[in-house]
Structure 1
Amino acid sequence: DMGRGFGTVVDAIGNAGAESNGKPFVIYHDVIDEQTNGDIEICIPVPAGTVLPGDPVRYRELPGGPVATTVHRGPYQEISPAYHVVTGWIEQEDVRLAGPPREIYLNDPQTVSPAELLTEVQFPIDKTPR
């Protein structure tokens, strides 16, 4: 499904005469695993103000701010330890989440082996004191 979704977004960007200006990423609005489906957003950065054709693809700006992050090297299916590292740090530092987690895909699975894939796991955080 994600491959098809990225294809839909790439096509919409191309049809709008625009180009990506950043790494593709996914925002996970739900916990997703082998037993559970959930809502995700498939995202490809484009220049501000890019006009896209509409459903199912739309333009929106994500709020900036601090993130707790780590980089996972290896197959996508083996990424869960990276999530545990980041969520452990968030707990240890007693910071609040400020949004759903993201996976930023730093290289292309069509050009590198699964062992060489690099994925940045980010959790937006709120660093204001509790």
Structure 2
Amino acid sequence: MSSYVFSVTSPKDYESTIPMVTEALKQEGFGVLTTIDVAATLKAKLGIERKPYIILGACNPTFAHQAMEAEPDIGALLPCNVVVRTEPDDSVSVVFMDPVSVLGMVNQPGVDKVGHEVREKLMRVAESVRG
């Protein structure tokens, strides 16, 4: 695992994991602003078959506002992406952007504070998914 993400294995199949993750995000105050079906896009644009892989662009409006107040350009690093993907062994991984690592690139105390608070929420989402 890299330093800019953390992940868990879902106890459910791919199709059941997506709404489970979405609901867990909602419980922590996040909405899903974007949904990118990477597998479908690669198939349509390049003819490449790959196992299911989706990117959910999660946003907590309160924290996004705080971060934008501290650093107006922070939008380039938002939203917090959450990947749901099927692994070669057909298990399902849920991979979370680590906001402390990503937002830490800004090196601004107000943004760092938001990153730590968002990480705590996303870690609770991860634990909820893990079951």
TM-score interval, normalised by the smaller of the two chains: under 0.3
Larger Rg: 1
Structure having the larger proportion of residues in helix: 2
Answer 1 or 2: higher relative contact order, Cα 8 Å, separation at least 6: 2
